């Protein structure tokens, strides 16, 4: 299994920020990425529907012979217990727990602010994870316009800055003031620069993509699943709709061009 790929899935393209961090941290590993672009966004779906979609996506990755599955979607992390049961003994990693651990470390006892999709905020996944790992006061804010902004490439300029102020100003005005801002959606790292400017230098930003990559690296080492040293391999991309758009817009999140010819259309049903 050491030479097998790592499977990564998301509702669309935001999870490419997680794969970008994984590729940087684990350059010797191979990756298969699945974006459920026909059924995005997951953030407005019920928990039961998200669990069903996530199980279909993860099952499709197991058919490709992956050695580990990464749920690169905060909303879909509601399905983590169900996927661990269904895919055992295959390891499954979500983005919620690594993000919560990093936020607690950055906050050092001070309050934590979380920005995420409506589904993630309503589900309270980060509040529960932070409480389970020691606890801190948590203020949450849904930022639904951040997803279309990032997918349209509007990651800088007056529009992005005005919307960031609209969401962040009331969130960060709570007292006592948060010391940490957790980016609880995998789309949001594309807006990291404008979010950091609006939040101010005294607020530490935590990117769940980077912390998830560290968690995966530790798990591979602990389980003896690390790939042998080799030159980096090109990732495989699977989508359920609009492969051309995935290749075009996905570059924003992956940080490098995606050849449309490498994007395969699949049917999860």
**Neighbouring residues of 85: CB distance < 8 A, sequence distance ≥ 6:** none
Cα angle 266, 63, 46 (rounded to 5 degrees) comes to 65
3-state class percentages of the chain: helix first, strand second, coil last, to nearest 5: 50, 15, 35
| Spatial distance between the Cα atoms of 173 and 187, rounded to a whole number of angstroms | 24
Which entry of 5, 185, 198, 220 is annotated as an active-site residue? 185
d(CA 68, CA 61): 9
Alpha carbons 252 and 151: distance in angstroms, whole number: 8
b (16+ CB within 10 A) / e for 193-232: ebbeebbeeebbbbbbbbbbbebbeebbeeeebebeeeee
73 is catalytic: yes
Residue closest to 11 by CA, chosen among 142, 120, 124:
120
Q: Where are the beta strands (DSSP E) in 169-267?
A: 180-183, 204-207, 236-239, 263-265
Catalytic annotation present for 180: no
Contact of 175 with 107, CB cutoff 8 Å: no
Q: How many CB atoms neighbour CB 157 within 10 A?
A: 10
In 3D space, the residue among 70, 137, 131, 80 whose CA is nearest the CA of residue 101 turns out to be 131
SS3 state of residue 61: helix
What are the distances in angstroms from CA 193 to CA 104, 198, 237?
Answer: 22, 9, 27
Determine which one of 71, 73, 103, 199 is catalytic: 73
Q: Supply the residues annotated as catalytic.
A: 73, 185
């Amino acid at each position: 299994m050491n030479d097998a790929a790592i499977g990564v899935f998301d509702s669309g393209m935001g999870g490419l920020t997680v794969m970008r961090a994984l590729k940087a941290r684990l350059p010797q590993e191979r990756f298969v990425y699945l974006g459920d672009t026909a059924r995005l966004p997951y953030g407005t779906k019920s928990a039961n529907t998200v669990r069903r979609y996530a199980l279909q996506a993860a099952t499709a990755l197991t058919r490709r012979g992956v050695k580990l599955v990464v749920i690169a979607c905060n909303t879909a992390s509601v399905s983590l217990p169900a996927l661990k049961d269904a895919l055992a003994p295959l390891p499954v990693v979500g983005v919620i727990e690594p993000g919560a651990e990093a936020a607690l470390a950055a906050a050092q006892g001070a309050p934590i602010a979380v920005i995420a999709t409506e589904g993630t905020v309503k589900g309270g996944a980060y509040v529960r994870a932070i409480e389970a790992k020691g606890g801190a006061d948590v203020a949450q804010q849904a930022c639904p316009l951040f997803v279309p902004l990032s997918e349209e490439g509007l990651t800088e300029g007056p529009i992005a800055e005005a919307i960031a102020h609209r969401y962040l100003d009331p969130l960060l005005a709570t007292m006592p003031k948060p010391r940490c801002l957790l980016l609880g959606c995998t789309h949001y790292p594309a807006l990291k620069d404008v979010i950091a400017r609006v939040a101010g230098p005294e607020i530490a930003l935590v990117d769940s993509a980077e912390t998830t990559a560290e968690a995966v690296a530790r798990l591979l080492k602990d389980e003896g699943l690390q790939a042998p040293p080799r030159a980096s391999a090109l990732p495989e991309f699977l989508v359920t709709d609009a492969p051309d758009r995935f290749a075009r817009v996905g570059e924003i999140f992956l940080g490098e061009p995606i050849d449309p010819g490498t994007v395969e259309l699949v049917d999860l049903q």
